[in-house]
Amino acid sequence: MHFIVLILGLLFLGWAVIIVGCWAYVILYSIWMFKWYILAVLLAIGIAVQLAEAKTYRSAHTKHQFQLANPCPLNGSTKGKCPGYIKDHIIPLCKGGADLPSNMQWQTIYDAKQKDKWECK
């Protein structure tokens, strides 16, 4: 009789270990998968933030068209760099200004740095 109780006890204990082991595996696997889920969410948030902070696209063609119509104030050049000046958007792109030659002006580098301090902050 004791032998049968011992065998039944061992079988019960064996099944209990298997069941607890399975549940432990399920819990650990769930935690591991949840970790990857959290990582994926954080990565998606990071990408979204980078896209939101990305600089507004400025067309090289538009800048060229502006310089053709408005030669460099320093040397009258209609192509290439204009020493001491930059092409500036009158209404900044970050404030909804158009990327068109009609919204551009020549601006000294010093004035541009001053304007950049407050323009889109």
Which segments within the chain are labelled E, that is strand?
85-89, 104-108
Are residues 42 and 89 both part of a single domain? no
Are residues 6 and 22 both part of a single domain? yes
Q: Which range (6-10, 34-38, 60-64, 112-116) has the least confidence? A: 6-10
Are residues 48 and 64 both part of a single domain? no
Are residues 48 and 67 both part of a single domain? no
User: Which string of b and e fits 94-116 if b means at least 16 CB within 10 Å?
Assistant: eeeeeeebebbebbeeeeeeeee
Are residues 1 and 50 both part of a single domain? yes
CB 115 within 8 A of CB 88: yes
Residue 5 pLDDT exceeds 80? no
Are residues 73 and 99 both part of a single domain? yes
Are residues 31 and 66 both part of a single domain? no
Structure tokens at 47: 């990408």
Chain centre distance of CA 68 = 35
Q: How many domains does one find in the chain?
A: 2
Structure tokens at 75: 């040397």
Domain end among 39, 54, 69: 54
Are residues 49 and 66 both part of a single domain? no
Average pLDDT, the chain: 77
Output the pTM of the full model.
0.53
Are residues 68 and 48 both part of a single domain? no
Q: How confident is the model at residue 9 (pLDDT cuts 50, 70, 90)?
A: low
Q: How many CB atoms lie within 10 A of CB 30?
A: 11
Instruction: Give the residue numbers spanning the domain of 4.
Output: 1-54
